[in-house]
Structure 1
């Protein structure tokens, strides 16, 4: 019995030595500036939303926030950088459907364990896409445009961000649903595709509402459809894709915060609370709504992980199947 008590005391002491540093890290968090890694190009959806939120989050955390764009390899560079970072809450990923879902279907093999090495922290917003064409395109609506594409298989092109991004996958799924054959033209960033669309070098592009809406409002581009269930408040005259002959067609991306898997729970919960509070700031929320955002409501970190898992269950098989059919 004496030996057993000694072993139990030794085990408890060893466990305490493991837990103690995590408790200290949580109590001192944040102890230095935070890095918010955006795994997409500057000026894109995730970047715009992150830079809008960063000043508010700085005030709440009392530390500077450095927003860093690491977009190479369809966002895999930034995603892997966070997955391999010290799990202390000071390096976080602004993760979207592109990096945290679609890349699982398109990279074989994956360069690292994406699912096991990252954990959810907080959801930010959910955003539909807008189907854009050149202002001089003769199509009166999406139905007209589909008819023209069906009459000339392979003649037209759609642009997107890098392979595996939401703009690519939405364009791919739309072409399949519409029964059209179009050439895919990927760009290093979606903004480059939009510039070519304005110049008439490509035929159409799906872009996230956050960055698409300003181009529609300035009339630099014209919107044929939105991929939400209902028309957007900010674009009331633009019908949904479902209204125009593609029943059930939807396309969304979302912005979220993820952290290395070993990040202590108290730190994750603190970040979750602060981000939720930032999203309630009236001026910030109004701005996001004006960019077509929807909100999932407050989610705990475990609910964010469940959200990731469900999106992967639905989308990974669909994307794999669609990409093989092209």
Structure 2
């Protein structure tokens, strides 16, 4: 039987752990800041607000969506990386912020790989190449042929330099062997507006925001950058069907937290987000928006996912020569 002294020493040794356990158990003790690196109405913003609305009653706290769209998403990334690691500040982490920016900023304002950790995956969404509804190109192959016949005369719009839509446009030009004038905008909706006004020829937009424009008849989709056609747009061919084999690209939305956030809090965020996004109604809704929900991931699996994405896309981004705006 342990002596009284041994029991006392064991109790004293456990004391430093008590506050950490209590903090994790008490989480959340205040509203959650959900930081989004896109303007209101953008892909990540739309998805973030859907998820936030479903999460609030489960968490028992308000979730305040905060849009910080400056500096190719780096402003939002920095804000969360430098926040208190108590689980009350979340980042909607996308391919632009967590992957592309590593290749675009020199020096990096913050070491993204070390400053943040994955908590949960939400969804994936491909890009769609769109033109004005009355553009003469019949399909993707015809569009590429016309672009090759008039080098530099087609204007390819996008969101800010280095964001997913910009990189997809540059990658497309390389793969298609065509030369475009690339015109990044502060927000992607401005590029879409200028397609309607005839000042921009085409752009890649994320399906979440592209499909409503296509359904409204304002623009026409020439191809989607997914491996298979979207259930939400079954008549829209893939880029591979249009002649660009293996052209699969897009973005994804995840939840990232400051790296020092306690494992117990990260696990609770993971469980709550998975519960919401894996629910049949949410999966269906995100599918209607032009994306899909992958199988639930653990925090470690989210980090592994991001690591693989970096290995795949950082060389591609560097090859485009793009720099952050």
Deviation of 1:14 (Å): 7.4
TM-score (norm 1): 0.94
TM-score (norm 2): 0.94
Distance 1:14 1:196, change over 3 A: farther
Deviation of 1:23 (Å): 1.5
Of residues 259, 282, 285, the one that matches 1:284 is: 282
Of residues 186, 189, 198, the one that matches 1:188 is: 186
Distance 1:194 1:15, change over 3 A: farther
SS class of match (1:244): coil
Q: For 1:208-223, what aligned pairs fall within 5 Å after superposition?
A: 208-223=206-221
Deviation of 1:227 (Å): 0.4
Q: Deviations over 1:7-41 (max 9, x none)?
A: xx79x967852x43322210110000000000111
Deviation of 1:318 (Å): 1.6
Residue matched to 1:67: 65
Unpaired stretches in structure 1, ≥5 consecutive residues: 1-5
Of residues 87, 90, 94, the one that matches 1:92 is: 90
Q: Which runs of 4+ in 1 moved over 4 A?
A: 12-16
The aligned length equals 317
Q: Deviations over 1:35-73 (max 9, x none)?
A: 000011111000000111111100110001000001110
2:130 paired with 1:123: no
Of residues 259, 262, 271, the one that matches 1:261 is: 259
2:302 paired with 1:304: yes
Of residues 128, 144, 147, the one that matches 1:146 is: 144
Q: For 1:1-326, what aligned pairs fall within 5 Å after superposition?
A: 16-17=15-16, 19-323=17-321
Question: Partners in 2 of 1:181 and 1:213 — Cα distance?
Answer: 26
Q: Deviations over 1:61-105 (max 9, x none)?
A: 000100000111001001000000000000000010000000001
Question: Partners in 1 of 2:277 and 2:168 — Cα distance?
Answer: 27
Question: Partners in 1 of 2:36 and 2:91 — Cα distance?
Answer: 6
Question: Partners in 2 of 1:22 and 1:264 — Cα distance?
Answer: 8
Question: Partners in 2 of 1:196 and 1:98 — Cα distance?
Answer: 23
SS class of match (2:321): helix
